[in-house]
Structure 1
Amino acid sequence: MRIGLVVDATCDLPPEFLAANNIRVLPIGIRVGERRIVDDRDPDTTLKFYSQDLPKVGPEDGSEPLTPAQTHDWFLEKLVTDFDYVICLTVTSQRSPIFEHATQASFSLLQSYKERRAAAGIAGPFALRVIDSQTVFAGLAVLAAEGVRLLGEDQHPNAVRTRLEQLSQQMNTFLVASDLGHIRRRGFQKGDRSSIGDRLRGAFLGLGSMLDMKPVLSLVQGEDKPVSVSPNYEKSAERLLNFARARVEAGELLAPQMCLSYAGDPSALRDLPGFAALEDACEAKGIQVHLAMLSPTGGINLGAGAMSLSFAAEPKPFA
Structure 2
Amino acid sequence: MQKIALLVDSACDLSLEEMKEYNIKLLPLRISYSTGEYKDILEISADEVYSNLDKEVPKTSLPSAEDIEEILNTLEKEEYTHVIAITISSGLSGTHNSIRLLLEDHPKLTSFVFDTKILAMPEGIVALETAKLIKEGRSFEEIIKEIPIIRSKITGYFTLSTLDYLIKGGRIGKVSGMIGQMLNLKPIITVDENGIYYSVCKARGRKQSISKLTDILKEELEKGKCKVWVLHGGALEEAKKFMESLKNLKNIIDLNISQISPALGVHAGPGLLGLAIQQIN
TM range (shorter): 0.7 to 0.9
For residue 260 of structure 1, report the CA deviation from its aligned partner. Answer: 3.7
Unaligned 5+ runs, structure 2: none
Tell me if 1:76 matches 2:73.
yes
Q: Could you tell me how far apart the structure 1 residues matched to 2:249 and 2:141 are? A: 32
Q: Could you tell me how far apart the structure 1 residues matched to 2:178 and 2:48 are? A: 33
State the partner residue of 2:145. 162
Percent of residue pairs identical: 18
Tell me if 1:54 matches 2:53.
yes
Paired residue secondary structure (1:56):
coil
Residue identity opposite 1:36 in structure 2: E
State the partner residue of 2:170. 198
Q: Could you tell me how far apart the structure 2 residues matched to 1:25 and 1:172 are? A: 23
Q: Could you tell me how far apart the structure 1 residues matched to 2:124 and 2:102 are? A: 22
Is the 2:13–2:258 Cα contact (8 Å) retained in structure 1?
A: yes
For residue 221 of structure 1, report the CA deviation from its aligned partner. Answer: 1.4
Paired residue secondary structure (2:277):
strand
- Of 212-221 and 234-243, the range deviating more from structure 2: 234-243
For residue 305 of structure 1, report the CA deviation from its aligned partner. Answer: 1.4
Q: Could you tell me how far apart the structure 1 residues matched to 2:121 and 2:104 are? A: 28
Q: Could you tell me how far apart the structure 1 residues matched to 2:43 and 2:247 are? A: 23
Residue identity opposite 1:20 in structure 2: E
Is the 2:45–2:262 Cα contact (8 Å) retained in structure 1?
A: no
State the partner residue of 1:264. 234
Is the 2:31–2:61 Cα contact (8 Å) retained in structure 1?
A: yes
For residue 70 of structure 1, report the CA deviation from its aligned partner. Answer: 4.4
CA RMSD of aligned residues (A): 2.9
Q: CA, structure 1 residues 16+205, in 2 after alignment: closer, same or farther (shift >3 Å)?
A: farther
Number of matched residues? 275
Q: Could you tell me how far apart the structure 2 residues matched to 1:262 and 1:145 are? A: 19
Is the 1:294–1:307 Cα contact (8 Å) retained in structure 2?
A: no
Paired residue secondary structure (2:216):
helix
2:112 to 126, 129, 147: 129
Q: Could you tell me how far apart the structure 2 residues matched to 1:233 and 1:15 are? A: 31
Q: CA, structure 1 residues 81+174, in 2 after alignment: closer, same or farther (shift >3 Å)?
A: same
State the partner residue of 1:213. 185
State the partner residue of 2:268. 302
Unaligned 5+ runs, structure 1: 114-125, 187-196, 314-319
2:207 to 234, 240, 245: 234
Is the 1:260–1:291 Cα contact (8 Å) retained in structure 2?
A: yes
Q: Could you tell me how far apart the structure 1 residues matched to 2:120 and 2:152 are? A: 15
Q: Could you tell me how far apart the structure 1 residues matched to 2:79 and 2:25 are? A: 11
Q: CA, structure 1 residues 3+20, in 2 after alignment: closer, same or farther (shift >3 Å)?
A: same
Query: Which structure 1 residue ranges, 4+ long, deviate > 6 Å from structure 2?
Result: none
For residue 27 of structure 1, report the CA deviation from its aligned partner. Answer: 1.1
Is the 2:99–2:113 Cα contact (8 Å) retained in structure 1?
A: yes
Q: Could you tell me how far apart the structure 2 residues matched to 1:10 and 1:27 are? A: 8
Name the TM-score, length of structure 2 as normaliser.
0.83
State the partner residue of 1:138. 121
- Of 299-308 and 74-83, the range deviating more from structure 2: 74-83
Q: Could you tell me how far apart the structure 1 residues matched to 2:96 and 2:222 are? A: 34
Q: Could you tell me how far apart the structure 1 residues matched to 2:128 and 2:237 are? A: 20
Is the 1:138–1:260 Cα contact (8 Å) retained in structure 2?
A: no
For residue 265 of structure 1, report the CA deviation from its aligned partner. Answer: 5.7
Q: Could you tell me how far apart the structure 2 residues matched to 1:33 and 1:43 are? A: 16
Instruction: Map residues 257-296 of structure 1 onto 2, 5 A cutoff.
Output: 257-264=227-234, 266=236, 268-272=238-242, 275-281=243-249, 284-286=251-253, 288-296=254-262
Tell me if 1:174 matches 2:174.
no
Is the 2:227–2:252 Cα contact (8 Å) retained in structure 1?
A: no
Question: What whole-Å deviation, never above 9, does each CA across 1:148-173 have from its counterpart, x for those lacking one?
Answer: 34334443232222221344456432
Question: What whole-Å deviation, never above 9, does each CA across 1:119-156 have from its counterpart, x for those lacking one?
Answer: xxxxxxx4332111111112211211222343344432
For residue 67 of structure 1, report the CA deviation from its aligned partner. Answer: 4.2
For residue 218 of structure 1, report the CA deviation from its aligned partner. Answer: 2.1
Question: What whole-Å deviation, never above 9, does each CA across 1:1-51 have from its counterpart, x for those lacking one?
Answer: 443322101112233322322222101110122231111x34963332222
Residue identity opposite 2:73 in structure 1: L
State the partner residue of 2:39. 38
